[in-house]
Structure 1
Amino acid sequence: MRRTLTVVIALICAFLPAAPALAADGLRSTEVTFRGSGGLEMRGTVLTPAGATGPLPGMVLVHGSGAGTPRAKLRTEAEAFARQGMAVLIYDKRAEGYSMTRRDYGQLADDALGAHATLRSSPGVDPDKVGIWGLSEGGWVAPLAASRSKQVAFVVIVGGNAMEPLRQQTWAVAAGLRKAGVSGPVPDRGVPAFYRFLAGAGMFPMPWHDAQAVLAKVGQPMLGIWGAHDLLTPPQETPGLLARGLGHDRYTLRYFPGADHAAHLTSDGGVTRDPRLAPGYPEAVGTWVKRVTSGDLPDAETVGDLPRQASLTVPVPPAAFWESAAVQVLALAVFLVAFAGYPVWALVRRVRGRGVQGTWPARVLALGAPLSAFGALAYLMYSVIGGGKLASPGPVVAGRPVIWLLLQALAVAALVAAAFLVPVARRARGSERVRLGALLTGAVVFLLWALYWGVLSP
């Protein structure tokens, strides 16, 4: 009899909904699953105040960039917002269909809407008072989700963007280099050219996403938050772009001194992130959410001093034909054929037992030009991979990285050698004239290439 009773109780418990677990500091934690874009199963956690009574406003938190980011990355924010009397849902970001070179903000927005629907249907949550919060990349995703569903009650973005992703990222890397003491052609010409190359080659996803067109479709009230030391999103330019892009004036723009890109404290101007949130940040979000969900809508409010940027962003339009990725790859192919062909031809003649008469200008050109070109691209790739605020340009002299100065010296030496080689090529005959002609053709292409990439800029 006792065994039968035990089995019955176990079966009943198996079909009962799981009780919320007690989280830190009096919060309740409930695990949930939902369907994202394409039917992908996604997992999340809902945090609520343990002793809350009555329907609560709710907020879904959307990650910044990165594939498969775990929900724990936003646990600090989620707990802080839940203590303000909200139900907060955090979830593991998708890895499927998302990478450094592939992503779709529409897909991410549908993921957020799946989480939003789940939170709206959660016990103790007021379905008419659930909004979406987005960090960094989430600043493009959250407004897009809101533009697709009127059931989203409000939008909060932190370190969010209101400009094209390619323009924002180009500024971030260039600003990071400038913060490290670099000026001149590397941040001014090299970085924008490299990002346009990546975009043209399909290696930078959604480079010209039209954030302004999305904002114009957002009818919900919006809270925009930026840290004074944001080194990844332009904190001086973005708020104005957001205000102009929205089709209404029910927004609040708020700035936090001493805070970084994610509104965390920073002690070194935004380079290092403190685990602590900026003082007053969770309270400001909680107060604003309660206010707008009760019908008290803001009227173009601004709180705090507008942050200042050391440099402004610059437009990064699609490349013209002559500067496209295809033409750039063709130029590199010309370098390989023209410059590598010189020593290869000499080696073949030696193997066949024939004499080879080389000249110093030809050797300098054949070696210096490709080293400068491929070295410049490698250095720019290193700078891009290093990101914005973590830029490490190496030793810098007079605002120029020493490595870049050496690459510029190689370029100048190669072109000077090409000038000396012109009369030699005119006097040459037969196959030697063809070989030197190929070198000089490569030199002309290299000159145009180096001017475009800033390798020859002072």
Structure 2
Amino acid sequence: MNRQRNRFRIRRGERPADGKSRVSDESAASRRQPGDKASPAAWTRWRRLMCTVPIFIILIGLLVFVSNATAMPWNNEPTGQTLSTLSADTGVTFDNPGGVHLAKRGEYEVSERSVWFDAKRPSTGEIQRTHVIIREPVGVSGKLPGMVFMHGAGYGSAVDSFVDMAYDLSSAGFVTAVLDKPVWSTNDITRDYTGSAAVYDEVIRMLRGLDNVDDREVGIYATSESTWVSSYLLDMDKDIAFQVLLSPMVFTPRQAIGFLAAQDFALVGAHDGYQSIVRRVFNIDFALFGVTLPDVHTLKPSAYSIPTLVAYGSKDVMTAQVEGVEAIVDMALRAGNHDVSIRGYPVANHVLRLGDESETGTPFADQYAADVVDWAVGTAKGLRQTSERVGGVNLYQSIAVPKDLKANRGLTVYGLLLHVFMVFMMVLSLVIAVVALVVKIRAMIRRTGPALGFSHGFGNQLLTLTVTTVATLALFGAGLGQVIMGVVKIAWGGAPPEKPGLMYWSWPVIQVVCTVVVWAWSRVLARLIEVASLRGVIRFPPRKGAIGDVMTGRDPVLASTRLGRVLFWVTAVTMLSVLLMFAFWGLFVY
């Protein structure tokens, strides 16, 4: 009886009761209608090559076009600029016919006290509770000059910033003030320079209000990033007496930081390909995201209209020293100010320290602290400087400041959409891959047959190409990460690596692997075309029932299951987006 039932199921094309198929589904050939052409034979190797090559040319051509379309011109000339000093001596002396007492560093004992106030951000009304440490010389009568210190990049506080320099100046008769850096809820790319300038000016007025401070002789000590803030401050307060500018940035943040990154990428030995990334990054239109800081313009005569001391270190890899000095002197002369002194110190980093800036307790270079004190004391006394205006080691600049950098909105929009799409597709691919893995494991446990049903080796090819592309992406990230770590190291005063290693050889390796991956994908697509043609799908007119057979999985081109087909195409589009991302950053510029 059971045998008769099974025979009946088999005749109907159904699965037997024991779950094992004894007769396959009807083949495509058996469903061919009278008059249909016979199935074509499998392609020869030559025909496959003739299909693969045009696909490869189209794909590689698209990627090369994207790489060249997103490339930004960048003129590094002139390279190796130098500015010769007039004397190797950095000391500062003054003509003192009246014999005015010029205090030296360490001449007085120093006392300090703390003051707290609410620093209000003018644009939003946001309040930052701010600590100010005021240092004063002990046992000195009369009105004294003052100095307010302005922070560079980061989040400096009154307690751990400018301790030695503020103490040195106070020991020479200055009343100094160091405050917490006004940051409010901003970060490094959204700093409020005008708001910060207003807070620093509030502290200046605080010093001027002290009984022992000469309100006409209060100056500022600005370092690195704060030399952008000082430009706003001098516009607000015309009574600031003098300024010390330590490693001033001078140019717009886009130009200054673009110079920094390009120079440092070269110094650490990064491949030119990684250096080209800098050009694309610094042509981003940050205003599209509400960030206008990169294009603030602070190079103007008013910023250098008062007596100014500019100091650089020979190991400073963050500032354009030669063009910076030329711009400062030009602006000062336009403002009618001839009292500008330039000093270059050997073996000193961006903050004029010896050694790694990230380590605490590193001393100032040579006589820097003494020179600053001598210059400030003599300038506050109104004396005429007799030492050379430009002293110390010769200044050097490896490449030109990229003054032609500007926001490129088209590039920004394309790059943003591409990267968002790539991340979305990678997440989607990961989700589908996890689902496919669960289905496959369940099918293996239940022994129900293939879970994804890939045919013609497409499953293995998909896995191999995906692993290769993701590994290439990881190599790209590792190479770029090593470049960034190397840049950070030399920015803190460390030495560049003797052998660049990964940051150099990874770029050409990635280029070769990407080209091979594009060729492999071209072969896969050509194979798809071949199988589809053999199934009668892409001929005209299509074989009767061919499209239905492919869609239902009865006669698959790619996979017999819908999950397999979805996994393949989603993963393929994801890998294409990764290749387009590589192209965006210049991997296909040969």
Same fold (TM over 0.5): yes
Name the structure 2 match of 1:326: 416
Cα offset for 1:226? 1.0
Cα offset for 1:149? 0.9
Cα offset for 1:116? 0.7
Residue-by-residue CA offset, 1:226-266 (whole Å, 9 max, x unaligned): 11111232333322233334442432222222221112234
User: Quick check: 1:183–1:399 contact (8 Å CA) kept in 2?
Assistant: no
TM-score by length of 2: 0.62
Cα distance in 2 for partners of 1:415, 1:24 equals: 72
- Give the 3-state SS of the residue equivalent to 1:90 in structure 2: strand
Residue-by-residue CA offset, 1:66-85 (whole Å, 9 max, x unaligned): 12534332101101222333
Name the structure 2 match of 1:12: none
Cα distance in 1 for partners of 2:129, 2:358 equals: 35
Instruction: Mark the CA change 1:232 to 1:397 in structure 2 (over 3 Å): closer, same or farther.
Output: closer
Cα distance in 1 for partners of 2:303, 2:324 equals: 18
Q: Whose relative contact order is higher, 1 or 2, with alpha carbons under 8 Å and at least 6 apart? A: 2
1:303-452 maps to which residues of 2 (within 5 A)? 303-315=391-403, 316-324=405-413, 325-333=415-423, 336=426, 353-357=451-455, 358-359=457-458, 361-373=461-473, 376-377=476-477, 380=480, 383-384=483-484, 388-390=488-490, 400-401=503-504, 404=507, 407-429=510-532, 430=550, 445-452=577-584
1:68-147 maps to which residues of 2 (within 5 A)? 68-147=156-235
Name the structure 1 match of 2:373: 286
Cα distance in 2 for partners of 1:202, 1:457 equals: 29
Cα distance in 2 for partners of 1:202, 1:190 equals: 20
Residue-by-residue CA offset, 1:32-74 (whole Å, 9 max, x unaligned): 2344333544221222222323211111011111125343321
Cα distance in 1 for partners of 2:497, 2:468 equals: 22
- Corresponding position: 1:262 with 2:351: yes
Cα distance in 2 for partners of 1:193, 1:33 equals: 44
> Structure 1 residues 408-417 or 435-444, which shifts more?
435-444
**297, 301, 321: which one pairs with 1:210?**
297
Q: Is there any run of 5+ residues in structure 1 with no aligned partner, and where? A: 1-22
Cα distance in 2 for partners of 1:340, 1:425 equals: 24
Cα distance in 1 for partners of 2:499, 2:507 equals: 9
Cα distance in 2 for partners of 1:301, 1:24 equals: 26
- Give the 3-state SS of the residue equivalent to 1:36 in structure 2: strand
Cα distance in 2 for partners of 1:394, 1:408 equals: 24
Cα offset for 1:28? 2.3
Instruction: Kindly name which structure, 1 or 2, has the bigger radius of gyration based on alpha carbons.
Output: 2
1:140-219 maps to which residues of 2 (within 5 A)? 140-186=228-274, 188-194=275-281, 199=286, 202=289, 206-213=293-300, 216=302, 219=305
What amino acid is the match of 2:453?
G
Name the structure 2 match of 1:242: 328
User: Quick check: 2:418–2:577 contact (8 Å CA) kept in 1?
Assistant: no
Instruction: Mark the CA change 1:141 to 1:77 in structure 2 (over 3 Å): closer, same or farther.
Output: same
- Give the 3-state SS of the residue equivalent to 2:294 in structure 1: coil
Cα distance in 1 for partners of 2:515, 2:497 equals: 22
Residue-by-residue CA offset, 1:333-352 (whole Å, 9 max, x unaligned): 47527966995796598568
Cα offset for 1:275? 2.4
User: Quick check: 1:68–1:95 contact (8 Å CA) kept in 2?
Assistant: no
Residue-by-residue CA offset, 1:142-182 (whole Å, 9 max, x unaligned): 22211211122222210121122233334434444433333
Instruction: Mark the CA change 1:67 to 1:196 in structure 2 (over 3 Å): closer, same or farther.
Output: farther
**225, 236, 253: which one pairs with 2:342?**
253
1:16-95 maps to which residues of 2 (within 5 A)? 26-38=109-121, 40-95=128-183
Cα distance in 2 for partners of 1:201, 1:389 equals: 31
Name the structure 2 match of 1:8: none
Cα offset for 1:120? 1.1
User: Quick check: 2:482–2:503 contact (8 Å CA) kept in 1?
Assistant: no
Cα distance in 2 for partners of 1:234, 1:122 equals: 38
Q: Is there any run of 5+ residues in structure 2 with no aligned partner, and where? A: 1-105, 122-126, 444-449, 533-549, 552-556, 559-564
Cα distance in 2 for partners of 1:232, 1:206 equals: 18
Cα distance in 2 for partners of 1:261, 1:342 equals: 50
Cα distance in 1 for partners of 2:323, 2:250 equals: 9
Cα distance in 2 for partners of 1:396, 1:65 equals: 30
> Structure 1 residues 71-80 or 377-386, which shifts more?
377-386
**390, 401, 416: which one pairs with 1:302?**
390
Cα distance in 2 for partners of 1:413, 1:197 equals: 31
Name the structure 2 match of 1:20: none
Instruction: Mark the CA change 1:437 to 1:43 in structure 2 (over 3 Å): closer, same or farther.
Output: closer
Cα distance in 2 for partners of 1:394, 1:428 equals: 53
TM-score by length of 1: 0.78
What amino acid is the match of 1:163?
F
What amino acid is the match of 1:209?
V
Cα distance in 1 for partners of 2:487, 2:107 equals: 34
Name the structure 1 match of 2:317: 231
Percentage of matched positions with identical amino acids:
19
Cα distance in 2 for partners of 1:354, 1:53 equals: 90
> Structure 1 residues 395-404 or 271-280, which shifts more?
395-404
Cα distance in 2 for partners of 1:61, 1:135 equals: 8
Cα distance in 2 for partners of 1:159, 1:332 equals: 40
- Give the 3-state SS of the residue equivalent to 2:488 in structure 1: coil
